[in-house]
Amino acid sequence: MRDRVTCGPVCYDEEDKVAWSFQTLMNDEATVFTAEAVAILKSVRKAAELLEDIYIFTETRSVLIALELKKNESSIIKEIKNLLKENLNIKMCWIKAHLGKTGNEEADRLAKRAIDRE
């Protein structure tokens, strides 16, 4: 049986308190790339509602690279790119995985919790 793919973005405020978070269990055909892209898309949508500067950290370089490419067939990537163009206050940043960073660890915990809820 194939491992289930999940995503679990989390947003912290200026005081390092959780502002919002969620977890999503993807369908059986979803790849890790798709799950990460969905997490980023949901985060960008939420951040677009805010006026202050927002930094979205991801451990997935492949999504960041896809966002830099001029051509990409993924509707998820296209929507992220459009939202980022419209919302210049949102910045994307890469973070190394599994270094014990609070936000990264919490996102991993949320993603695992999505599987447990099944």
What is the percentage of the chain residues whose pLDDT exceeds 90? 25
- Give the chain's mean pLDDT: 80
| DSSP secondary structure letters along 48-67 | HT--S-EEEEES-HHHHHHH
Check residues 104 and 60 and name the one with the higher pLDDT: 60
pTM: 0.75
The continuous run of DSSP H or E covering 11 comes out as strand 10-12
Specify the 3-state DSSP secondary structure of 106: helix
Q: What domains lie within the chain, and their CATH numbers?
A: 6-105 (3.30.420.10)
pLDDT recorded at residue 3: 67
Instruction: Please state the rounded mean pLDDT for residues 87-91.
Output: 90
Burial call 15-41: b when 16+ CB within 10 Å, e when fewer: eeeeeebebbbbeeebeebbbbbbbbb
pLDDT recorded at residue 1: 36
The whole-angstrom separation of Cα 98 and Cα 95 is 9
Check residues 83 and 53 and name the one with the higher pLDDT: 83
